[in-house]
Structure 1
């Protein structure tokens, strides 16, 4: 037999085999697409949950008691300070940070930090 004849037979066998193997890779492509779609849906669900939690953190401020209101100086149209920030201010004060440093770290003014500290019974 001639070498060209052997190569021709191998080429024909390869072409015929490629038809059967091609379906196998389509199954993997379909599975990969399904996984990609489910991952996208889960990511969107997590984003929605995070957005809800962020909204709850912004809305979930607790009203101050009447005793704390009397201690504070009246401020026109002051936005409420969230409990997490109040905890951060108290923690930083107990660690020895100055009012100016606490104001920088908590993104509040010095007056707001002093007001929070006084409302919690801490002297500066």
Structure 2
């Protein structure tokens, strides 16, 4: 016999056999779908638990005392801004003008000028 005819017969036999053997990939597809659904459910459950824990932790948090608010507002002024404040003060600008230009409050500008000895 000819080799192409033998290969053709083998191909036909394999094609016919594949219809009778069945498709095992559908089993794997079903298993994969079940695992995917369970993973989604677990992730959703963990997300709900995490939100509950976050809410429980936030229940005990009250307003911050006023002293800690003042500490948070009193951040150190950068040296470049301090030099700008001193320069503007020496040029005769008012405290409010300096505060506007330096993006600080008037009290912060006064504190900087007092700390550098520019005003008493």
TM-score of the superposition, structure 2-length normalised? Answer: 0.49
Higher relative contact order (CA 8 A, sep 6+): 1
Q: Computing the radius of gyration over CA atoms, which structure comes out larger, 1 or 2?
A: 2
